[in-house]
Structure 1
Amino acid sequence: MIGKQKRKGITKWLAISILLALVSVTTILQAYSFLGVSTRIASTHKYIKSHITNRKQNTSMVTENASIQNDNIFKYLEVKPVKSTSTRNIFTYNIPEYNTKSVNITPKALSNTSQKKITHIGFLKVHKAGSTTMQNIFFRFGLKYNLTFVLPEKGHYFLSTKSAMPVAPGNHRDILACHSVYSRNLFGSVLPEDTVNIGIIREPLERMISAAYYYRDVWKSPLLVKVPRLNFIHNLVNRPHLYELKPFTKTKNAMGQDFGFSPTTSINDTDYIKKHLDLLKKDFKQVLVMERFEESLILMKRTLNWDLADVIYLKTNSHAHQPVILTPYELDKFKSTCFLDYAVYETFYEIFDKKIAAEGPDFINEVEHFKSVLQLVKDFCELGTRKLLKIAQSAWNEPFEVTKQDCLYMQMKELKFVEFLKRRHRELNIMYDLMKNYDRNDVLRAQRFMSKRTRPVHHMWKTI
């Protein structure tokens, strides 16, 4: 009798061990094939602990129900953060504070440190408006604080509630940053009620020119490939009846489409256009301006109570093209064709300008400081001669570090990043199910079993 009970216990324990082993192997293979670096990836027990540590450090940033749930699942697993004691290959930079004393002010970045960071965000990813760089910022922020994303089951466009990957029971999604068309109902169906919506705009002609070259040369759009290359942009502008057959295309009212305007809208529907713009002004806490990108990020940082470290970036998804100058006649014709893009741009640019003016004299100083930090980050990531970059404390930021792993994430292509997050999403759901179906002692025994058979190695989440 005793022998049978012991055999039953061993079978159950081995079953759990096999489950953890499968997840561990999956994680290792995915990380190797995805990042393409020689760094070895940690075993599943360290992978779990890394997420648990982040969750415990940031429970104040998620809703109370989610915090209680996660604490119940992970409360018995403890891990100490890994700290490097080596001082080799490290640069520490002290950046000038740009005469903050001369204006006699208290920088907002440090005066707002007692406020919680906003972590429920709906980002409207507008085509060819710097939105891929913004998406990368939101993805890295979500990984850093162990948040959950709205991700489509297939592809990288989120177009309906049914297309979203499911979350574990009792959990919720925190950030939407994939391509989508704005709808109050759609965003509200997958994000918490206290979500802050962020958008981005770009001067319509510059956006159109960038999109035209990019989708012709990179995506090989059948419509754009047919346009004669000689006077390419002039052909698009002067002959919309030949090349812009649909109400919305990548080069015609694309911002209007992304912001949720109806495809049947005409230039004479002034009442509807005004009504929809009024709705957008209520729904969006902030709309960034690509031409004033650094200013936009500092304004967003203040709006969301983020740190300077949360908004650093490397420019991505840019495509060089020849400069284009339109005649006054062509410009008027283009404004008539892309009337929705201009309605969106002019409305939110005016709002943006007023918000910047209301920020006070320290705002420009913080923007200049931010540009200096970005240059250091760019040099660090491109040169590759040092392992760690340390940014010293200033009037606008606490000290923080940038690692080579951070550089890899900042340089990651959109489609790969989305697929990477999908795999992470599925693995987290597996972990939730595993914790739910087996008791604490079973999981701990299985972890000890796994730890004896897996060498401790550097893992991909340590620097996030």
Structure 2
Amino acid sequence: MDGARDRNQPPFAASVDLDGGHMSLQGLAHHALYTRHLKTVVGGLVLVTLVMLVMYTTPTPTALILSAANSLRDTGNFPKPYVSSGKAGYDVAASLPLRQEKEKEKEKEKRKEEGQVERGIPEKAFGLGSQDRESWRSEVLMAGESAEAQCRPQHHVMFLKTHKCASSTVQNIFLRYGYTNNLTFALPGAGNYLGNPGLFKAGLIPKSLLPPSGKVDIFAVHTRLNFKDHSSVLHNDTRWVTLVRDPATLYESLFNFFHLKNGYNLDLSSFSSQPMARLMELPRYGGKFGKNQMLFDLGYSDNMSVTQLRQAIEELDGLFDLVMVAERMDESLVLLRHLLCWSLHDVVVFTKNARRQEVKPTLDPQTRQTLRELNSADALLYDHFMAKHRRAVLEFGVRRMADEVSALRSLRDEYFEDCGAREVKGKDSTLKFKEYSGLVSSYVTSNNSDQNCLMLSLPELPLVDTVRRKQLKVLEEMRAPS
């Protein structure tokens, strides 16, 4: 066949002229073979070099995840201050001035203290320290820990309590911890509010309840965020924590718990048939409760442009060390304990001020969508921090998180049993300490001689009163002439 050749012959096995000379078929074959071997050697060297570069320069998936998470935790780049435009009759939220000065002071304090860990979730857990607990739980908590790198428990916390986000449950943790460790609190003279609907002002704290330094260890009562005034009563190394919840579920809870139907003359089930323009014009009930409740509690106007809203979310992301998610409560409690370097015992809690499942109405999809649209600013806020929570769990380790959540739930069950706790549904005139509403459950314990058991079972107001009485007594003794 024309153009065909023997496959066993070297390629181009014909007499050719090279640089004006002549090479035989055999010589050309040797030349081609030499060239082929040379290419093989060079190709092999190039391949080895590429493999070495990939092995030593390509980041692993874990490294990529940690790098991204560390960027999220970077607290050195805070957004520019934003002043929200509140409605007439409300304080204007000079929401969050730059925190660089605060961070500089914090770094100075941190350098003075040995062993201080950097902001964010500490890598090392704080051990249980209880020998009577099951050994498997201890193994879960201590796995991967290094004695020489243990963190130091944090005693300075700002907990921004958002309405109807399971914040009373988390508040119980801070009140118990502070009371047990003789810490000071930001407290009103009565009740459990320090600013709202107006923004917080430092002067709202009575002098009789303020330590001589003018600084408190823990802020955990209802307030409306005002960064400047809040910072003036807090230590520079304070950890900032808050909570978010799905906005449609939050609004339903807010609407029914505080009986907004009476103020609006409108039932929640009819919201989906109402023009959105009418729903948007509903006033804040009592000046406190209404649409976009989380952003309102966080010090912003409930009506912002998209640009202002995105800037506000950036500011909040930079301000808070941890934004817990109500729908991921146990995971959030694990992250909280690592942020503060507390033990698992410290974050055990019985649910507070939450309606029982049987009295919660079921939202149909159309009403849920209407409520999400009505609370669209809160929806953007929630989606942002839910995504951040998922990244935090990924960084923490999915399996490690599952193990700690299991240990936390087991420990909670043990406390419930050891305290002799029982749930009381609805109103009970025989109870000494009652919850706000008959829609929520109360707890009583048979082991009232145990301080922790008693505080675990107390509703919010009686517990705040208990903390306030102790603080007044301690401060009076400090001021008394010797």
Of residues 300, 305, 322 in structure 2, which corresponds to 1:261? 300
The secondary structure found in structure 1 opposite 2:301 is coil
Q: State the identity as a percent.
A: 24
1:129 aligns with 2:170: no
Cα 1:402–1:418 change in 2 (3 A) is closer
Match of 2:410 in 1: 372
Match of 2:344 in 1: 308
CA positional deviation for 1:362: 1.9
Match of 2:373 in 1: 336
CA positional deviation for 1:352: 0.8
CA positional deviation for 1:358: 0.2
Give the aligned residue type for 1:245: L
- Which of the pair has more CA radius of gyration? 2
User: What pairs with 1:101-250 in structure 2 (closer than 5 Å)?
Assistant: 106-108=143-145, 114-159=150-195, 160-166=201-207, 167-170=210-213, 172-216=215-259, 222-223=262-263, 226-227=265-266, 232-239=267-274, 241=278, 245-246=282-283, 250=289
Q: Report the Cα distance in structure 2 between the residues aligned to 1:112 and 1:126, rounded to whole angstroms.
A: 38
CA positional deviation for 1:205: 1.4
The secondary structure found in structure 1 opposite 2:378 is helix
Q: Decide whether the 8 Å contact of 1:211 with 1:250 is kept in 2.
A: yes
Match of 2:473 in 1: 427
CA positional deviation for 1:348: 0.7
CA positional deviation for 1:255: 0.9
CA positional deviation for 1:415: 1.5
Query: Per residue, is there more helix in 1 or in 2?
Result: 1
Q: Decide whether the 8 Å contact of 2:292 with 2:302 is kept in 1.
A: no
Cα 1:407–1:100 change in 2 (3 A) is closer
Match of 1:355 in 2: 392
Q: Decide whether the 8 Å contact of 1:121 with 1:176 is kept in 2.
A: yes
CA positional deviation for 1:113: 7.2
Cα 1:131–1:173 change in 2 (3 A) is same
Q: Structure 1: 5+ residue runs without aligned partners? A: 1-62, 65-90, 385-400, 439-464
CA positional deviation for 1:242: 6.3
Q: Report the Cα distance in structure 1 between the residues aligned to 2:134 and 2:269, rounded to whole angstroms.
A: 49
CA positional deviation for 1:93: 4.2
User: What is the aligned residue count?
Assistant: 317
Higher relative contact order (CA closer than 8 Å, sequence separation 6+) = 1
Match of 1:22 in 2: none
The secondary structure found in structure 2 opposite 1:198 is strand
Q: Report the Cα distance in structure 1 between the residues aligned to 2:468 and 2:138, rounded to whole angstroms.
A: 42
The secondary structure found in structure 2 opposite 1:288 is strand
CA positional deviation for 1:112: 8.1
Q: Decide whether the 8 Å contact of 1:236 with 1:243 is kept in 2.
A: no
Q: Decide whether the 8 Å contact of 1:286 with 1:300 is kept in 2.
A: yes
CA positional deviation for 1:172: 2.6
Match of 2:98 in 1: none
CA positional deviation for 1:339: 1.2
CA positional deviation for 1:316: 1.2
Per-residue deviation, residues 377-428 of structure 1 (Å, max 9, x unmatched): 12233458xxxxxxxxxxxxxxxx9973212101112112222222222211
- The alignment's TM-score, normalised by the length of structure 1, stands at 0.62
Give the aligned residue type for 2:293: A
Per-residue deviation, residues 209-247 of structure 1 (Å, max 9, x unmatched): 22222222xxx87426x44xxxx4322454462696126
Match of 1:414 in 2: 460
Give the aligned residue type for 1:255: M
Match of 1:327 in 2: 365
Q: Report the Cα distance in structure 1 between the residues aligned to 2:350 and 2:374, rounded to whole angstroms.
A: 33
For the aligned residue pairs, the C-alpha RMSD in angstroms reads: 3.1
Q: Structure 2: 5+ residue runs without aligned partners? A: 1-108, 111-130, 196-200, 423-446
Q: Report the Cα distance in structure 1 between the residues aligned to 2:454 and 2:406, rounded to whole angstroms.
A: 25
CA positional deviation for 1:147: 0.5
Q: Report the Cα distance in structure 1 between the residues aligned to 2:242 and 2:137, rounded to whole angstroms.
A: 30
